[in-house]
Structure 1
Amino acid sequence: MHRRRPTLLAALTLTAAATLTLSACGSDGSPGKGEGEIAGSDAGDESSASPSPSSTSTAAAGRPKVELPPDLRLTFEDAETGDPVKDAVLADNAERMRAVDAAISGTDPEGKALGFYNTGKALEAAVSWVGQFEKANATVTGHVRFFDRDVTLKGTTSAVLTFCADESKGFSKDKETGEVTKTPVTKDSYVQYNTRLDKNADGVWQTSQILSTRGAAQCQA
């Protein structure tokens, strides 16, 4: 029997886990508003995007290998700053974003990477969001581009990272029927994120807090 998906999950964005997280972090954002504004289907231009960080960052600290299905692609710009510490923050944040989608799409069914790259409230909210996808029998497909990624170090074990996401080419997909939900691109297809990462004893920069502003003017393409 076909499962009926909740209205909220009818057109999910690939990175909506962060939107859910902001409610746990005390943001004044509005989870559930704007999650459906995703459209487009072509892969887009990757000329300024970095290669997948999973190929270069999995060896250290016993990092789990994060794999995504072939119909799902995330690209991360501004991956190299010239500062090795900032670059490590950017790499682990990228793996965090990939880990959420790996858990949703089923390539990491046990959520090993999810727990590896998240901690505290960010982990709780990410797990909850993945669970909502499971209840809706939905997965994710398409392409999301992350850009304007900027790191500010706060001492030796804490950092603030802000970045934008272009979700205009990301889709939700019904697992049972394979139907892809498409909606028009609007300003809410672009999201600004403000995150905190803390370096654990193994040297991994885990996301502990993440706030988002959907439709932020500074992230409009």
Structure 2
Amino acid sequence: MNRRPTLLAALALTATAALTLSACGSDDESPSKGNDEIAGADTGDEKSASPSDSTAASTARPEIELPPDLKLTFEGGETGDPVKDAILADNAERMRAVDAAITGTDSEGEALAFYNTGRALEAALNWVAQFEEAKASMTGEVRYYDRKVTLKGKDSATLIFCADESKGFSKDKKTNKIHKTPVTKNSYLLYNTRLDKNAEGVWQTSQIISTRGAAQCQP
């Protein structure tokens, strides 16, 4: 399997000045784009796919572990369509991989490179590097919901979903102090992503846009 070793070490200095990490946050730096179509994604009608189109089950995935004080919940993982379910599963692992890199349970970023490619990989690495620069980690709970897949052909799809970060916070790596913030509309994010299936059958996230405070994700 072709993986990219020591990605975080190689790109850890590529981030700009660290953000104020008031919550778990997004690994995309384009909040103003909102619910725009992902660049390069086909905007045609959804196309049907048969179970034989998915080879995801045959490819070994990296094992991702998160620290005990961080819990991620993914709603709506079973649609009845095996292709969409594979996309949802790989997307969930993608989100877990980013957090594993941030919290240090995957310090080499192996899973990060496995589930990301292109612009999404660059955005994820920059986001992780900003946590490194701030000497911060993550704690609490994050819930992902309203996850909707649109197939754009045999090997491409878009996935739009929401994140509830009202119980997710950053914490100081040295002191373990948790930086709690009040719950506001900005505690809820909208993600608009593109995924492409690689030769090994893995649905990698290739592009990602996020909007903090999106109206459609509010409780």
TM-score by length of 1: 0.78
Alignment partner, residue 78 of structure 2 = 80
Identify the residue that residue 140 of structure 1 maps to in structure 2.
138
In the aligned structure 1, how far is the partner of 2:214 from the partner of 2:33?
14
Alignment correspondent of 2:121: 123
Corresponding letter in the other structure for 1:74: L
| Counterpart Cα distance in 1 of 2:210 and 2:179 | 23
Q: Deviations over 1:170-206 (max 9, x none)?
A: 0000000010001110001011111000000000000
1:169 aligns with 2:180: no
Task: Provide the aligned length of Structure 1 versus Structure 2.
Answer: 182
Report if aligned partners of 2:191, 2:210 keep a CA contact under 8 Å in 1: yes
Residue 28 of structure 1: which of 17, 28, 33 is its match? 33
Counterpart in the other structure of 2:26: 16
Q: Structure 1: give runs of 5+ residues left out of the alignment.
A: 1-5, 30-57
What are the residue-to-residue correspondences of 1:1-80 with 2, within 5 Å?
8-11=19-22, 13-17=23-27, 19-20=28-29, 22=30, 28=33, 60-80=58-78
Q: Which amino acid aligns with 1:14?
A: C
Q: State the match for 1:183 in structure 2.
A: 181
Specify the SS of the correspondent of 2:19. Answer: helix
The alignment partner of 1:172 has SS state of: strand
SS at match of 2:68: coil
Give 3-state SS (helix, strand or coil) of 1:135's partner: helix
Cα displacement (A) at 1:108: 0.2
Does the 8 Å CA contact 2:149/2:157 hold for their aligned counterparts? yes
Write the letter of the residue equivalent to 2:105. Answer: T
Q: Distance in 1 between matches of 2:21 and 2:210?
A: 20
TM-score (norm 2): 0.79
> Root-mean-square deviation (CA), in Å?
1.7
**Correspondent of 2:95 among 73, 94, 97:** 97
Counterpart secondary structure, 1:74: strand
Q: 1:179 to 1:157 in 2, by over 3 A?
A: same
Deviation at 1:59, TM superposition (A): 7.0
Whether contact under 8 Å (1:15, 1:97) holds in the other structure is no
Is contact 1:9-1:133 (8 Å) kept?
Answer: no
Q: Please, which runs of 5 or more residues in structure 2 have no aligned partner?
A: 1-16, 35-55
Per the alignment, residue 195 of structure 1 pairs with: 193
Q: Which amino acid aligns with 1:99?
A: A
Structure 1 residue 163: Cα displacement: 0.4
Distance 1:142 1:70 in 2: 9
CA–CA distance in structure 1, aligned partners of residues 171 and 58 of structure 2: 34
Q: Which runs of 4+ in 1 moved over 4 A?
A: none
Percent identity reads: 69
Q: 1:157 to 1:59 in 2, by over 3 A?
A: closer
